[in-house]
Chain A
Amino acid sequence: MSVWTIILLASVCVLGLKVVGYLVPPRLVERPTPARISSLLTVALLAGLVAVQSLARGTEIVVDARVPAVILAGVLFALRVPFVLVIIAAALCAALLPLAGWMT
């Protein structure tokens, strides 16, 4: 699959889900279970992405400067630092630690 195909198919899926929401009768999803699953699904996917993005190198688990960078990001978000500043701080942390010779 080419990257363009992936982009187009994924976009069609995401837009399609929005359109479907305007077409189904509301009472179908007023019940708590589908709403709860959908909200937890978002949490689980994001948490899985955090883990993979900070630990995986291909299909290997590698602990490197990304780990302290992600921990720093968590602390800064908890302190309500704006999104963009946290991203820059995390990038700097991961870029500078190896230069200082502390981590790969």
Chain B
Amino acid sequence: MPLRPRSVETRVAFRSGLAVAVAVSLYGVSFGALAVASGLSVWQTSVLSLLMFSGGSQFALIGVLATGGASAGVAAIAGAALLGLRNGLYAIRMSPIIGGPLARRLAAAHFTIDESTAVATAQSTPAAQRAGFWYTGILLFVGWNIATLVGALIGNLLGDVRQYGLDAAAAAAFVGLLWPRLRRRQPIIVAAAAAVIAAVLTPSLPAGVPILVAALVAVVVGATNLFGARGGDAA
């Protein structure tokens, strides 16, 4: 069956985009349930997934709100924004790949996340990279939002959080997001130090703030390249 190379590669991009979108969407269910458990309404949970569309930032926001409530709002926003910084770096990397008029690149912004960038940059041709980005981003956007709503409705039925261990599930979710990033010595040391600092400062600072102080470890180690082997690589 004679297929032009370009369409073969685009199909590969579509297949990996679809696989990633389905797998990642599934944890949208846990996000929805945990968001409701941490005090958001079903509406608020769905709007958050539609507008923010960045799993790490969303988990961080509800994590801080769960421990500190609405009075920890500033820390919650800061945590979500700091975790969203890496999307900005992905955008810089994706910008020449997306190409075209500025309007198209701005439309791409909302879909610029870990997964769409990873699938795009793994493809071999520029056309397949573009295809991989859009397929993954849009399929995941649809899947993530449906899964979030399903999870929120389930969470709403469950009621009391601690009884079902959902507060532990939130911690487990963060372990899952963190795990793939602990491949080298530098991030492992930063993670250990940040965890200790956040725990030690918890009794003396308002909820959410210890996490932001712990993040300073990353700035210090990153700026000086302490414990690092060689040049940095983005997440």
Contact = CB atoms under 8 A, between A and B. Distances in A.
Interface of A: 1-11, 13-15, 17-22, 24, 26, 28-29, 32-56, 58-61, 65-66, 69-70, 72-74, 77-78, 82-84, 86-96
Nearest to A66: B168
Given A22-B105, A43-B190, A53-B63, A13 B84 contact: yes
B52 A32 contact: no
A1 B127 CA distance: 45
A20 B84 CA distance: 12
30 contacts: A1-B73, A1-B74, A6-B73, A14-B52, A21-B89, A22-B94, A40-B186, A41-B83, A42-B56, A42-B86, A42-B181, A44-B193, A45-B211, A45-B214, A49-B60, A50-B171, A51-B196, A52-B198, A52-B202, A53-B167, A53-B171, A59-B203, A65-B168, A66-B168, A77-B176, A82-B23, A84-B27, A84-B29, A92-B165, A95-B163
A9 to B, nearest CB: 5
A17 B168 contact: no
Given A10-B57, A41-B219, A53-B67, 12 more contacts: A7-B48, A13-B77, A13-B80, A19-B109, A39-B235, A44-B193, A44-B217, A53-B170, A55-B199, A88-B169, A92-B165, A94-B169
B109 A54 contact: no
A40 B187 contact: yes
Nearest to B104: A22
Q: Which of A13, A29, A36 has the most CB of B within 10 A?
A: A36
A45 B181 CA distance: 12
Contacts of B39: 3
Contacts of A48: 194-195, 197-198, 210-211, 214-215
Given A49-B60, A61-B203, A7 B51 contact: yes
B24 to A, nearest CB: 8
Given A8-B51, A47-B214, A48-B198, A18 B91 contact: yes
Q: How large is the interface on B (under 10, 10 to 19, 20 to 34, 35 or more residues)?
A: 35 or more
Contact of A17 (B63, B81, B219): B81
B174 A10 contact: no
A28 B96 CA distance: 14
B51 A44 contact: no
Overall SS of chain B's interface: helix
Given A14-B80, A94-B165, A43 B187 contact: yes
B93 to A, nearest CB: 8
A51 B16 CA distance: 33
